[in-house]
Amino acid sequence: MLNLERLRILHAIATYGSVSAAADVLHVTTSAVSQQMGKLERETGQQMLAKNGRGVRLTDAGRLLAGHAERILSLVELAHSDLEAHRGAAVGEIVLGAFPTAARGLLPKALATLRRDHPQLRPRMQEMEPAESVARVVRGDMDLAVVLDWYNRPLSLPPGLAKAPLLDDIADVAMSSDHPLARRAQIELEDFANDDWVSWPDGEFCHDWLMFTLRGKGIEPRLSHSAEEHHTQLALVAAGLGVAVAPRLGRGPVPDGVSVVPVRHTMHRHVYAVWREDADRRPAIRAAVEALQSSARAALTTTTT
């Protein structure tokens, strides 16, 4: 009989291309992956992996079984969803991921709503960037993720995911209060062609978006500093070290010495929830999406008033 955990490991190797990558996404050691693959080969009586330079590749038998593994794992998830739907109650554990400003601006109220309305449900939140949370949802380590993309730069989602919109989050430009443009009612990004920028770390989705957007307006970005957290970015702005994009979701009060000015041609982020299509019937997923949408409506009222 085929072991589901070994099929999951085989599927991860097929998806991510190596034993080490599979170990990383499954949060186990490479030795554990190799041991499980050895057991799978003994169970099937066929070689699943072959050496390929310093790495490995799937054999024909490995590719064949990996294709079946994807369908089997999806059917297992669907079976869990159907059983939960048959029971009709949101129960058990549900793991939600969210990028930092959503974790601060949406998740506390949503989690409190779930605890109040579904006392048998145990929601657990993990803060992380969209690319990582989407990957975890795809491989089944996470049930639902709150992610974002920008009005001019969509986030590429893999197949097999369902999504629900939550809100459009408007972004302004933050600058020191003594900046020449700090008293403007509105500004354009082109007004900051000669300013230093405080950005997100290189390689993050929002950093890439900022580079793409500024260059699209003929501005070669001058990056002075980078920081993960918006509050850290605003502290750097307050010190006169650059200007920064300041989304409204989860922003809270801005520090002394910072002015936030709207952009005439509005910049906004689409914020939405994603989950696996084969988990769509789970009452826990439905409950989480409804709680997030309710929290988003409250946040939207706050950020636009």
pLDDT at 275: 95
The single-letter code of the amino acid at 161 is L
pLDDT tens for the chain, residues 1 to 305: 788 889 989 988 988 888 988 888 787 889 999 999 999 999 999 999 998 887 888 999 999 999 898 888 878 877 776 776 656 678 788 999 999 999 999 999 999 999 999 998 999 999 999 988 998 898 788 999 999 999 999 888 888 899 999 999 999 999 999 999 999 999 999 999 999 999 999 988 899 999 999 999 999 999 999 998 888 999 999 999 999 999 999 998 999 999 999 999 889 999 999 999 888 888 899 999 999 999 999 998 876 54
DSSP letter string over 132-197? HHHHHHHHTS-SEEEEEEETTBPPP--TTEEEEEEEEEEEEEEEETTSTTTT-S-B-GGGGTTSEE
pLDDT at 17: 85
The single-letter code of the amino acid at 106 is L
> Quick one: tokens of 237?
């702005």
pLDDT at 86: 53
pLDDT at 54: 79
pLDDT at 81: 67
pLDDT at 216: 92
